[in-house]
Amino acid sequence: MSDFHQTGVITTLHRLGPPGLARLEDELLAQSRARPIALVLPCLTSEMNGPGLKGIVEVLRGVRYLREIVVSISGSGDRGEYEAMRAYFDGVRTLNDEAPVLLWNSGSRVQALFRRLREEGLDPGQNGKGRSTWLAYGYVLATDASRVIAVHDCDIRDYQRELLARLCYPVAIPNLNYEFAKGYYGRVTHRLYGRVTRLFVTPLLRAMKAVLGGLPLLDYLDSFRYPLAGECSMTTDLARINRIPGDWGLEVGMLVEVYRNCSPKRICQVELTENYDHKHQELSEGDATRGLHRMVVDIASSLIRNLASYGVEFDAGFLNTLTAAYLRMAQDAIASYSGDAALNGLDFDRHEEELAVETFTRGLSAAGLGFVRDPMGAPQIPNWNRVTSALPSFLDELQEAVAADAV
């Protein structure tokens, strides 16, 4: 059983007592007419060969309160992969007994839409989870059939119906009055996982607070127990106005966009499950273009640029101070987690943790230097309000392209 302690500037909805799955699903079904829910699944075709997606599909075959299921596929562009993914989701049905809709991101029709956006000066970003998620949001907006969007990754190895119900519930139940809910959970097996959150994001946010003093944005970000979780739900109105980063800064960038566009009273975090396991990225300590090393560069770049947009000045001297403060915070975090692991009988490799912090420190320095050289960086994917303002028929064209691919 979780504690019920409230910390930070947003509400935490805990997992207290028995799951109560039947009650949650009954309430979601009762609200499905007033607050219909779309589930967005950004998915790689390679995940058909992994353990996560198979379990997700099996669970979704028993879920009946979803109005739409939109699977946004990234892959090689081979038609056979698209057809294989359609067959993979066979048996999954929505509330209206409709099959999931598949968006073929690598198909010629969707690629033509991306080219049209670029010609209009609207960059949809590079292939990846950010663009895949953004396109699925656009499709949900185009159908205008749902009022709530839930999204989660497709590599969850211990997926359960409770996770999905708890993810949807805060936004789908009108009396709670939330516009955005971020999922969180434990990441523990025989050892502690979640290295980028434990040893990078949280120490970095607290180092920034120590160096800069109290800033509302930093207090807000530091309120999230698992800011890098890939699971969230939101209203379609919020999905329409949020910009989305196209790199590994997606989750942090999304939280900042929500902060800009939504009152903190309408934001919560919800405990989804007791524990959570998914595909683990390699550290890649010698290559900043891969693995967790690349992830921390993108995350740090997103944080620095977003703080700069709120008037924080970053120069070489300040970045050196921040890096030193982060390193100390991260080293203190290792000591704390070492004690936690010892008390609970978990494996804990102190050298591996130190190596991760050294790698993350280099990533932070690289992100800082990148900001000094180019303060603007890669642009975020434009929000859907801007797209439809520039190209009023674009959402209709997206629907037509998706329907044509399905024939």
Nearest Cα neighbor of 407 from 71, 77, 73, 83 is 83
**CA 311 – CA 307 distance, rounded (Å):** 7
Show the tokens assigned to 53: 């997606």
Which residues, 6 or more positions from 92, have their beta carbon under 8 angstroms from its beta carbon?
57, 60, 61, 69, 99, 100
**274 in a structural domain:** yes
Q: Are 8 and 220 in contact (CB under 8 A)?
A: yes
In a domain, 41, yes or no: yes
DSSP 65: -
Show the domain range for 53. 11-405
Element (H, E) at 311: none
Q: What is the pLDDT at residue 380?
A: 86
How are strands ordered across the β-sheet holding 101-104?
11-13, 267-273, 180-185, 232-235, 148-151, 37-44, 66-74, 101-104
The residues with which 101 forms a beta bridge, in sequence order, are: 70
What is the reported pLDDT for 275?
A: 72
Among residues 10, 67, 178, 97, the alpha carbon closest in space to that of 167 is found at 178
Contact residues for 9 (Cβ-Cβ < 8 A; gap 6+): 216, 219, 220, 223, 264
In a domain, 327, yes or no: yes
**Nearest-CA neighbor of 360 among 378, 342, 334, 336?**
334
Q: DSSP letter string over 136-151?
A: HHHHHHHHT--SEEEE
Question: pTM of the entire structure?
Answer: 0.94
CATH of the domain at 238: 3.90.550.10
Q: What is the DSSP string of 123-190?
A: ---SSSHHHHHHHHHHHHHHHT--SEEEE--S-BTT--HHHHHHHHHHHHSGGG--SEEEEEE--BSS
Strand partners, 39: 69, 150
Q: Is residue 307 part of a domain?
A: yes
Query: Which residue do the tokens 């949900």 mark?
Result: 140
The tokens 């109105």 sit on which residue?
A: 237
**Rounded distance, CA 268 to CA 167, Å?**
11
Q: Please indicate, yes or no, if residue 107 is contained in any of the structural domains.
A: yes
The pLDDT profile of the chain, 407 residues, written as one tens digit per residue, is 467 889 889 999 999 887 789 999 999 999 999 999 999 999 999 899 888 899 999 999 999 999 999 999 998 778 999 999 999 999 999 999 999 999 999 999 999 999 999 999 999 988 889 999 999 999 999 999 999 999 999 989 889 999 999 999 999 999 999 999 999 988 888 899 999 999 999 999 999 999 998 899 999 999 999 999 999 999 999 999 999 887 778 999 999 999 999 999 999 999 998 777 767 678 888 888 889 999 999 999 999 999 998 889 888 888 999 999 999 999 999 999 999 999 999 999 999 999 999 999 999 999 999 998 888 777 789 999 999 999 999 999 999 999 999 98
Task: Please report whether residue 330 resides in a domain.
Answer: yes
pLDDT of residue 245: 84
pLDDT value for 267 = 98
Q: How many domains does the chain have?
A: 1
What single-letter amino acid sits at 94? T
- The predicted pLDDT at position 278 comes to 67
Is there a domain that residue 4 lies in?
Answer: no
Provide the angle, in degrees to the nearest 10, between the axes of the packed helices 250-261 and 291-309. 20
Residue 1 covered by a domain: no
Q: Are 87 and 314 in contact (CB under 8 A)?
A: no
How is residue 49 annotated by DSSP?
Answer: G
CA 304 centroid distance within chain:
19
